[in-house]
Structure 1
Amino acid sequence: MSDVHIDGSPRSIDRTRSVMRHLENLPGPLDAVLVTGDIADHGLIEEYEIARELLTTRHPTLICPGNHDVRPAFRKVMLDEDGDGPINQVLRLNGLTVALCDSSVPDRPEGLLDDETIGWLHRVLGEAPHTPALVGMHHPAVPLGVPYVDGIRLRNPERLEGIIRQYPQVVAVLAGHAHTAASTVFAGLPLVVAPGVVSTLRLGQEMRTPVPVDYDLPPQIALHVFDSGRLVTHFRPVL
């Protein structure tokens, strides 16, 4: 899931709560919940306090920041830590490594993987060279055909591509940011973009007005199934 944009409003809270309730009530097993950024809408402590309560689940959970997030507040509330450096996190499941990179840039909307994050990702993948891995972040590494999002995508995709090609155990790249379900190819691998929880961004072909954001469509999630070296993704609205 991605882009919950908690701002204290009943709308953002209710939509996030509906998604989490849906995940909690799934009848089958769920190995992990991944949240790819834009947790708080304004990066406020109060927003993260709400988000922390909403995103608490019985499942292992991994959350990375997005361009709306503020690292010190995110770290303090969501991780019980202090600091303002990149928030990179890894989850090692049975037979799968999930590495979520911090692509946020303080006070900027576009994405960047800095030297610290690149070094961290090298170490994480190097520690388990024979275990399949998913690499995720907030900002997509390629244009998606949504001009607003494409203008603030990941700025240094070549560094990410270099790592991916160096570590053949990486099977796919995950992202958020676009508020629309999308799939494409990056560095020869699937790049899967999670839809938005708070809203949906429409393509130009779908709009009769200049405003690309649709607040009426329901929140959506991506359900990933990894089996026999293959990632399959199913997109679901949460009604």
Structure 2
Amino acid sequence: MTRFLHLTDLHVSHPDLKDPNLHSDTPATLTRLVEAITAMDPAPDFVVASGDLTNHGDELSYELVKELLADLPVPVVLALGNHDKREGFNAVFRDGPSDRPYFHDQILAGLHVITLDTGVPGKVAGAIDAEQRDFLTEKLAQEPDLPKLLILHHPPRIDPAGLPWGSIDTDSTEFLAGAFKGYKVVGILSGHIHINQVIHWHGIPVVVSNGNHSTVDLLERKDMRIIEGTGFAICDVRPSGLTATFVPLSPDRAQLAFIDQERLRRLSLL
């Protein structure tokens, strides 16, 4: 079994910015999350942070993200989202400020992990540009027998009547569907829309996590009501497929009962 964690929408702003657009203390949430991951036994094989690493894309906030993530004892896969700025990210995490998109691939714990940069400067919605389409096609062919895990900040466009800004565009979605034919894709990890959701798309599970900033009230169907709620997903890849378990971080929950391991074993039929 391969286990990895899915974080998204970190929306970190350095405290010096005094960011009026933060819905919660995102540096504190990320600190708490890193501490929780570091204490996990056994440790996950790797961690994915699928975009919107910062709230405004400034170098100071990326430096803080880099500092906070440095304590993780496992590999971290980063992606960019619509709140990110390539110039700021590249200045801190790569070889200097530039507007180059950030897409890459690597093999982790038996998975071929491919990360695309779906951000479109100045837009909220996403897309996959021609350069990255060629990259994806090439990389899929290089490792045809390895199961694939795709990281996209914006999920595929599943519902034509859905939010026009809540996904990659229809053309990019159709490209992905065609590109993946004939390959084993264990899952797609996304964020952007600040909810917990699993979608089955052409037989591929698309796991969307609500992230570390806020969530939205799914019972409010006319307008958008932003509410408290942060978390992440624990993802396990077994021969039977991908399992995603959503873990809430906030708001804090009161303990109602506690059952120790010995009693749990007595209750088991195994």
Q: How does the TM-score come out when normalised to structure 1? A: 0.90
Structure 1: 5+ residue stretches without partners: none
Task: Give the RMSD, CA atoms, in angstroms.
Answer: 2.2
Q: 1:142: how far off? A: 2.6
Q: Alpha carbons of 1:189 and 1:86: their partners in 2 closer, same or farther (altered >3 Å)?
A: same
Partners in 2 of 1:144 and 1:159 — Cα distance?
16
Point out the more displaced range, 225-234 or 66-75. 225-234
Question: 8 Å contact 1:143–1:150 — kept in the other structure?
Answer: no
- Give a deviation string over 1:90-135, Cα, whole Å, max 9, x none: 2202321111111011121110000111111112211110011111
Q: Which amino acid aligns with 2:67?
A: E
- Give a deviation string over 1:58-115, Cα, whole Å, max 9, x none: 2101101000011111112123444322201222023211111110111211100001
Q: Confirm or deny that 1:77 pairs with 2:92.
A: yes
Q: State the match for 1:161 in structure 2.
A: 177
Q: State the match for 2:259 in structure 1.
A: none
Q: 1:186: how far off? A: 1.7
Q: Confirm or deny that 1:30 pairs with 2:41.
A: no
SS at structure 1 position matched to 2:124: coil
Question: 8 Å contact 1:171–1:189 — kept in the other structure?
Answer: yes
Q: Alpha carbons of 1:72 and 1:29: their partners in 2 closer, same or farther (altered >3 Å)?
A: same
Please point out which of 83, 92, 98 is paired with 2:113.
98
SS at structure 2 position matched to 1:17: helix
SS at structure 2 position matched to 1:190: strand
SS at structure 1 position matched to 2:25: helix
Q: Alpha carbons of 1:197 and 1:112: their partners in 2 closer, same or farther (altered >3 Å)?
A: same
Q: State the match for 1:87 in structure 2.
A: 102
Count of residue pairs brought into register by the alignment: 233
Q: How does 1:61-140 map to 2 (within 5 A)?
A: 61-140=76-155
Question: 8 Å contact 1:179–1:196 — kept in the other structure?
Answer: yes
Q: 1:209: how far off? A: 9.3
Q: 1:12: how far off? A: 1.2
Q: 1:230: how far off? A: 1.2
Question: 8 Å contact 2:37–2:43 — kept in the other structure?
Answer: no
Q: Which amino acid aligns with 2:52?
A: D
Partners in 2 of 1:39 and 1:50 — Cα distance?
10
Partners in 1 of 2:202 and 2:150 — Cα distance?
12
Partners in 1 of 2:240 and 2:94 — Cα distance?
31
Q: Which amino acid aligns with 1:233?
A: A
Q: Which amino acid aligns with 2:116?
A: C
Q: State the match for 1:13 in structure 2.
A: 27
Q: Alpha carbons of 1:4 and 1:64: their partners in 2 closer, same or farther (altered >3 Å)?
A: same
Q: Alpha carbons of 1:209 and 1:126: their partners in 2 closer, same or farther (altered >3 Å)?
A: closer
Q: Alpha carbons of 1:20 and 1:209: their partners in 2 closer, same or farther (altered >3 Å)?
A: farther
Q: Alpha carbons of 1:81 and 1:97: their partners in 2 closer, same or farther (altered >3 Å)?
A: farther
Q: 1:188: how far off? A: 2.5
Q: Which amino acid aligns with 2:198?
A: S
